[in-house]
Amino acid sequence: MSQPNLSLVSARMPLRVCAFVDGGLDMVRLARSNSCDAVVLFSQDGDLVEAVAEVQAIDAEQHRYVAVECAFPAAANISSWPIKMAIPRPISKAIYDSCIDHTDYKL
């Protein structure tokens, strides 16, 4: 399936974007319920590959496109890679770090 030019799509209709630090199940649930058009992951957790694959399967089932991007810090001194199967979105380390939620959600 070809990927649309997201800037062109956003000019024609508002995109519903979901941003996750780590929320594979939420990502799949929101994609299945047609609650978002794009997901931006701020994680390099390889365990999210299965969730990305599931969103792509939902795309095929529902005959629509949900962009799954993986934002990752890109700099000469950083060894960082996007999640496989996601659209790589290299950003500066400063921007990446400002997007991380450092809250400890453990009970």
How many other CB atoms are found less than 10 A from the CB of residue 37?
20
pLDDT for res 17: 56
- Domain for residue 107, yes or no? no
- Domain for residue 73, yes or no? yes
- Domain for residue 1, yes or no? no
Full residue range of the structural domain in which residue 91 is found: 6-99
- Domain for residue 77, yes or no? yes
pLDDT for res 104: 78
Q: Which residues of the chain, if any, have pLDDT below 70?
A: 1-22, 105, 107
- Domain for residue 71, yes or no? yes
pLDDT for res 98: 86
pTM as predicted: 0.71
Classify residue 48 as left (phi > 0), alpha (psi -120 to 50) or beta.
Answer: alpha
Residue labelled with tokens 């700099």: 75
Q: What is the rounded CA–CA span in Å between residue 41 and residue 18? A: 9
- Domain for residue 44, yes or no? yes
Q: What is the rounded CA–CA span in Å between residue 40 and residue 44? A: 12
Please report, as a single letter, which amino acid is at residue 8. Answer: L
